[in-house]
Amino acid sequence: MTATLDTPKFELKPYKSLSNEELQSRIQKVRDEMGSKLLILGHHYQQDEVVAQADLLGDSYQLSQMAANSSDCRVIAFCGVHFMAETADILANRPEKLEERAGQRVQVILPDMAAGCSMADMAAIDQIEDAWDQLGEVLDTEDITPVTYINSAASLKAFVGRHGGIVCTSSNAQAAIEWAFARRSRVMFFPDQHLGRNTAMGMGITLDKMPVWDPFAEELGGNTAEALEQSKVILWKGHCSVHQVFRPEHVDLFRKQHPGIKILVHPECPREVFELADEYGSTGKIIRTVEAAPPGTKWAIGTELHLVNRLKQEHPEQEVHFLSPVVCMCATMYRIDLAHLCWSLENMLAGTPVNIIDVDEETARWSLVALERMLEVN
C-alpha cells in the first residue's frame, strides 16, 4: 500500500547534519518553486519547527477535511502519522477530485515512514476479520455496525465501509455511534477501547453492556457468549500509549497543589482519569477551550506534550500544566523533523519521490465509503 522508489536522488543521511536554518531555507526554496501545488499539512502534536512549516494545522478531523477540500495542490507533505497520510491520499484522490483535475493524482508524502501509531498497530485486519467471524457464531453480524477510530490502517476503514459502518475521530465519536445505532442495535468499536468506552458511557450505555474483545484470547475475545449477547458496544482491546500514562493520582496531585485548577483531557485517556476531568475533547476542542478561557485560568491538560507546551507558550495569561510528572510525547509523531521533510521535498522536486503513500484502489474505494460518512457526521 505504500510505494517508495528505490533510487532517490538524495540520500537522507547528509540532511541530518544540516542546521535548522539551512533546512528551513531549503524547504522554502521548494515552496517557492512549487507555489500552491505543494500543501504541507501538520497535526497539532508535531514539534514546533515542523508546525512552523505547516500551511494548515489541525486535529485528525480537520486534517481530513483539509485533504478532502484541497484543490490546487498536487503534492501533500503530511506531517503526522501513517494512518493520517493514508486518509489524505484516499480523500484527495477520490473519484470526484480526480475528475476535477482531469485524472491527475495528488501525491501524498509521509516524510518518515516510521511515523506510525502504536494504537493503530493494535488492530490488524486479519484480527478484525477473525473477530467478526467469531462474533458471527454467537450474534447476527448483520445487526452490528463496525465503527473504526480514524487511528487505524486503511484496510480496517475498508472493512468498515464494506460492512455498513463508519469511521470516527475523537471530535465526532458520539455522533458516529449515534449514526451506527440508528441503523443496527449493536456496535463494534475499534481500536481504542478508551474513546469507545468514554463516548458510549456519555450516551448512557453501562459497562456491563460493553465487553472488551481481546484479540489474543483463545475464544470469543475472552468473553462468554452471554456477555456478547447482552452487549451494546463491543470494545477492542487497544489504547494510545501516550494518553494511557495519565493516572487518577496525577489529577489528585494537581487538585491538591493548585486549588481551583481545571482538568482538561483527551477522550483517549483511561476511564478513571476521564471521569475525574472537568472538561474533555479532541485536540482541536482542547485548543479552543483554552483559547476561550479567561486570563488567570489554571489548567492541567492530559494530552500530547508538544501541544500542551505550545498552549503554555501561546497563553502566558493562563497557567498551563502537563497532567503528568512523567514526560510523555508521541514518539512516532516526533519522527517527523525538518531533515526528513526537506529530504522528502527535495527528492519529490527532483523527480525521485520517496515515502509516497498510495492506498490500493480497492481499499481506497471501500475506505472512502466509511470516510464520507465520517465527514457527514459531526
Strands (E) located in 21-139 = 38-43, 56-58, 75-79, 107-109
Shortest Cβ distance from residue 335 to ligand SF4 (Å)? Answer: 11
- Is 70 annotated in a binding site? The answer is no
Residue whose C-alpha is closest to residue 173's, from 153, 156, 190, 154: 190
The alpha carbon of 47 is separated from its chain's Cα centroid by a whole number of angstroms, namely 16
8 vs 284 by CB, closer to ligand SF4: 284
Phi, psi dihedrals of residue 23, rounded to the nearest 5°: -65, -40
Contact 345, 15 (CB under 8 A): no
Shortest Cβ distance from residue 313 to ligand 13P (Å)? Answer: 19
Intra-chain end-to-end CA distance of the chain, in Å:
29
Shortest Cβ distance from residue 11 to ligand SF4 (Å)? Answer: 27
148 vs 169 by CB, closer to ligand 13P: 169
By a kind-dependent CB cut-off of 5 to 8 A, residue 282 interacts, out of ligand 13P, ligand SF4, none, with: ligand 13P
d(CA 149, CA 139): 23
- Is 73 annotated in a binding site? The answer is no
By a kind-dependent CB cut-off of 5 to 8 A, residue 323 interacts, out of ligand 13P, ligand SF4, none, with: none
211 vs 238 by CB, closer to ligand SF4: 238
46 vs 347 by CB, closer to ligand SF4: 46
- Is 149 annotated in a binding site? The answer is yes
The single-letter code of the amino acid at 210 is M
- Residue 2's contacts (CB-CB under 8 Å, 6 or more residues apart) are 113, 355, 356, 357, 358
Shortest Cβ distance from residue 241 to ligand 13P (Å)? Answer: 10
68 vs 245 by CB, closer to ligand SF4: 245
- Is 125 annotated in a binding site? The answer is no
By a kind-dependent CB cut-off of 5 to 8 A, residue 170 interacts, out of ligand 13P, ligand SF4, none, with: ligand 13P
Shortest Cβ distance from residue 299 to ligand 13P (Å)? Answer: 16
26 vs 197 by CB, closer to ligand 13P: 197
By a kind-dependent CB cut-off of 5 to 8 A, residue 169 interacts, out of ligand 13P, ligand SF4, none, with: ligand 13P
d(CA 169, CA 200): 14
In terms of Cβ atoms closer than 10 Å to its own Cβ (0-12, 13-18, 19+), residue 246 is buried
Contact 303, 286 (CB under 8 A): yes
- Cell 445487526 sits on residue: 143
112 vs 304 by CB, closer to ligand SF4: 304
d(CA 323, CA 250): 6
* Residue 77 Cα distances to 12, 26, 221, 237, angstroms: 16, 15, 38, 32
Angle, helices 361-376 vs 82-92, to 10°: value is 90
119 vs 300 by CB, closer to ligand SF4: 119
Shortest Cβ distance from residue 350 to ligand 13P (Å)? Answer: 31
Residue whose C-alpha is closest to residue 318's, from 275, 256, 258, 253: 258
Interface with ligand SF4 by CB under 6 A: which residues?
81, 117-119, 151, 240-242, 304, 330, 332-333
- Is 268 annotated in a binding site? The answer is yes
- Is 240 annotated in a binding site? The answer is yes
- Is 330 annotated in a binding site? The answer is yes
d(CA 101, CA 86): 20
- Is 170 annotated in a binding site? The answer is yes
By a kind-dependent CB cut-off of 5 to 8 A, residue 59 interacts, out of ligand SF4, ligand 13P, none, with: ligand 13P
- Is 43 annotated in a binding site? The answer is yes
Shortest Cβ distance from residue 9 to ligand SF4 (Å)? Answer: 30
Shortest Cβ distance from residue 60 to ligand 13P (Å)? Answer: 4
Interface with ligand 13P by CB under 6 A: which residues?
59-61, 117, 151, 169-171, 240, 268, 282-283
Binding residues: 43, 60, 117, 149-151, 170, 240, 266-268, 283, 330
Task: Name the binding residues for [4Fe-4S] cluster.
Answer: 117, 240, 330
